Amino acid sequence: MSFKLSPEYALLGILMRGPKHGYEVHSYFSSEMSQFWHLSMSQVYALLKRMEKNGMVVSRKELQEKRPAKKIFSITQAGKDRFLDWAYSPVKHVRDLRIEFMAKLFFIKELKLKGVSGIIDKQIGVLQEKLDVTRNSKERTADEFQAALHSFKIAQTTSALDWLNQCKIYFYEN
């Protein structure tokens, strides 16, 4: 019912392009998304099974003569809604940019969805807010350790924000 974790969203995204069976989903994942995300075959099968239980996908069997039957998964309307909802939401932490936010950008581009700059702006908003909070937090310079931790957070968030602003140029849409 719940699934807050993201791998299922990635699988939904792949199925947004059309029905596929488990092996195919994994191949796509490995060839197109491997630079920022990895999932084992077994996990793909397990996730698809769970997602079917949750009504995000449905499957039908396709018999083949010389090979085991394929189980072809299609995304349901509920799945589509869920996916789009996810795709246009910013992530909460800097640490989620590398995989989860990347995946959102990837699918928005891959599925030719509108509003890339919208989500980038939302993400900038979230991180800017975090940066302001960190800057104003009292634990600034209690000791060397606090100071180091503080400057790490500032540095990582600032560099993420710079990158997001660059992104708007990379993904410029008219």
39 binds DNA (CB under 7 A): yes
Closer Cβ to a second copy, 56 or 164, answer by number:
164
CA–CA gap between residue 23 and residue 95 (Å, rounded):
30
Which residues neighbour 80 within 8 Å (Cβ) at sequence distance 6 or greater? 12, 16
* C-alpha dist (Å) from residue 161 to 49, 92, 93: 38, 13, 12
41 and 26 Cβ atoms separated by less than 8 Å: yes
Distance of alpha carbon 74 from the chain centroid: 19
Choices 13-21, 69-77, 80-88, 98-106 (CB under 8 A): range interacting with a second copy? 98-106
17 binds a second copy (CB under 8 A): no
Q: Give the total of residues touching a second copy (CB under 8 A).
A: 30
45 binds DNA (CB under 7 A): yes
Closest CA to 161 of 134, 130, 135, 115: 130
Residue from 28, 70, 124, 126 in contact with DNA (CB under 7 A): 70
Q: Which residues bind a second copy (CB under 8 A)?
A: 35-36, 95, 97-98, 102, 105-106, 109, 139, 144-149, 151-153, 155-156, 158-160, 162-163, 166-167, 170-171
Q: Which residues bind DNA (CB under 7 A)?
A: 2-5, 7, 21-24, 27, 39-43, 45-47, 49-50, 64, 66-71
